[in-house]
């Protein structure tokens, strides 16, 4: 013989938070992944103005040259030989990337030329210089 217990049936329903938590987790993962694609130099430099400055959409690898000649890539200071190795590594990961060099207006021209040579030796031919448009 089976014992039957009579439990009162509760008709109370609550809000199911599982779909909302899944959605929030997906958003979090999306933002973590997309922010890893943004490369920054890690320092602020004063750019020179140029009358012929053009805006370009592409340019994924940023290199900054400080007034004292320090070179910064990916939020860390690098030496001149490290520029080539870093460019080669980044170019192997994403071959379609281009380089934008942001040199301070007080930086030496020789350092800029050496950095450009290292970038091209690293396998990237498309190198741009970041400037400010005239008047701004």
> pLDDT per residue over 97-107, tens digit each?
888 888 888 88
Q: Which of 23-32, 40-49, 63-72, 75-84 has the lowest mean pLDDT?
A: 40-49
Give the β-pairing of 99-103 and 61-65: parallel
Q: Where are the beta strands (DSSP E) in the chain?
A: 49-50, 61-65, 71-73, 76-78, 99-103, 127-129, 132-133
Reply yes or no on whether the pLDDT at 123 is more than 80.
yes
- 65 - beta bridge partners? 71, 103
Measured CA distances, 37 to 33, 62, 90, 94, 97 (Å): 7, 12, 11, 11, 11
Q: What percent of the chain has pLDDT over 70?
A: 71
CATH code of 47-133, in short, is 3.30.420.270
Model pTM greater than 0.85? no
Average pLDDT over every residue of 87-116: 87
pLDDT at 1 over 60: no
């Amino acid at each position: 013989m089976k014992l039957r217990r009579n439990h009162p049936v509760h008709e109370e329903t609550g809000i199911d938070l599982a779909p909302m938590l899944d959605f929030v987790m997906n958003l979090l993962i999306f933002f973590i992944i997309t922010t890893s694609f943004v490369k920054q130099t890690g320092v602020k430099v004063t750019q020179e103005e140029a009358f012929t400055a053009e805006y370009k959409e592409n340019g994924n690898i940023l290199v900054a040259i400080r007034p004292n000649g320090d070179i910064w890539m990916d939020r860390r200071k690098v030496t001149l030989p490290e520029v080539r190795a870093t460019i080669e590594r980044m170019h192997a990961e994403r071959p379609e990337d281009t380089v934008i060099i942001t040199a301070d207006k007080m930086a030496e021209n020789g350092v800029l030329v050496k950095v450009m040579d290292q970038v091209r030796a690293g396998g990237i031919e498309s190198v741009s210089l970041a400037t400010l448009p005239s008047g701004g």
